[in-house]
A and B are shown apart, each in its own frame.
Chain A
Amino acid sequence: MSAKIAVLGLVIEEPGPPHRLTAKLRQRLASAEFVDSNVYSALARLERDGLVRAVERRAPGKGGARLAAVPDVDPGLRTPVRRTPGSRTESRVFEATPAGVQRFEEWLLGSSSAPPLRDELHMKVALCQPHNLPRLIELVYGQELVCLGRVQELRRVFERMQPPAPNRWSGLVLVHVRDAELSFWDARLTWLQGVRESLERMHTAYGTARQRYSEA
């Protein structure tokens, strides 16, 4: 999934400055590993495509908050907060255009494709020979540890957050995203353990048969 569509969804949910959108993206899609610069480049592309627009928000004070569209958009998104002489702090806030809302809804309601499984270990399992079994068992076990390490990282990320309240919409969404991530590793680990177990059994049977053959 591209950062562009995720950022567009967050902007539609609530217009905000880039730094706030970055924090929300990190919280909402913890394991997607978007880096902070993804948000800035996504906003630049969305703005170029007319899907979001920047507005200036004057900090509340005398005269109250005021929003005004920025007529000529400067790509200096990395400096969201700037000062103008004799005025209060202003920050650039991004909001979705009608075209942006329409694009997001088309994406959200469109069908999703299922990616084919083509990872390296999958291919090694498909192409291995009996004499490769000990090494392959080792590799599978190593992958199990990698997956478990990933689970632990995710647990830490979610542990740092406030426990989501699943009876509220925002909390429920977070729980579903977290479940999706954990269920992915759950399925992966189940597969790896099953593969290791059957390879170990095959290795034992193969070794016994070879021993009998050599004795005969």
Chain B
Amino acid sequence: MGALLSLQGIGKSYWRGDSEVRVLTDVSLEVHAGQFLAVWGPRGSGKTTLLKLSARLEYPDSGCVSFEGTDLAQLSEAGHARLMLERIGWVRRSGPKSDLRMLDYVALPLLAEHGRREAYARATAAMERVGVATHAGQHWSSLCDGERALVSIAHGIAREPRLLLIDDPTANLDVLERERVTELLRSLADDAAIAVLMAVPDMPATMRAHQLASLGGGRLVFVPEPPQRPEPELEPAKVISLRSRQQSA
């Protein structure tokens, strides 16, 4: 089966004053349906840039980004907007700008596609899926960081995307909240076959991912698989029945 998201030979640099800062050098990766890939890297290593390139929120200097086999650079603005609305979920950590109830916030992107009743039913289902249905009537400012992270994920999955892009979802979370969020992302990949591409700056947050890649110094390195130890070949056990031993005695 082909990759859902494919980045091939991506290069990206920024200008800081007169000097060019190379952020990504010849980066390639593939994310498949139902795969939870964590990209780990220190702050400023280019993780957010990588996610933005994956959603064509920025353009690479070199290389190609494709989604479901379509080169994102070839998409029209309308095509790209439709892709972001239907196929790719971008999890925002900033929350709503206005003082919406959380259910309204999660339902908001659905209203463009569905009727009001359908949009709210889907939003409720998404909030129940991530375990924050009880916060439906609350406002962003009244939620703690862990609840905000979960509501953001509900907002991202409400449109049932095929790919979820999520940037540092465990920032400022305690151990319990972090485990809950990463376990949820794992279950979305395992149970709902959503491809999840997550960028995090701390290694413990990558624990529940299917695969880990390290980004630093512009290079993306996939964590090598340790050598498989061969299973020992066991000789068939010699079975001596008690009766035969008694007879021989």
Contacts and interface: CB of A to CB of B under 8 A. Distances in A.
B18 interface: no
Given A148-B223, A152-B226, A158-B207, A193 B175 contact: no
A186 B202 contact: yes
A175 B179 contact: yes
A183 B40 CA distance: 12
Interface string A165-190: 01100001001101100110110011
Contact of A183 (B203, B212, B218, B223): B203
Nearest to A149: B224
A145 interface: yes
B191 interface: no
A151 B216 contact: no
Contacts of B216: 144, 189-190, 192-194, 196-197
Contacts, number: 76
Nearest to B205: A182
Dominant secondary structure of chain A at its interface with chain B: helix
Interface residues of A, number: 30
B179 A185 contact: no
Range class of the B interface residue count = 20 to 34
B204 A182 contact: yes
A155 B40 CA distance: 14
B214 to A, nearest CB: 6
B225 interface: yes
Contacts of A56: none
Given A167-B176, A178-B204, A178-B207, A148 B221 contact: yes
Nearest to A198: B217
5 contacts: A156-B226, A176-B175, A183-B203, A183-B204, A193-B217
Interface of B: 40-42, 45, 175-176, 179, 183, 202-204, 206-208, 212, 214, 216-218, 221, 223-226
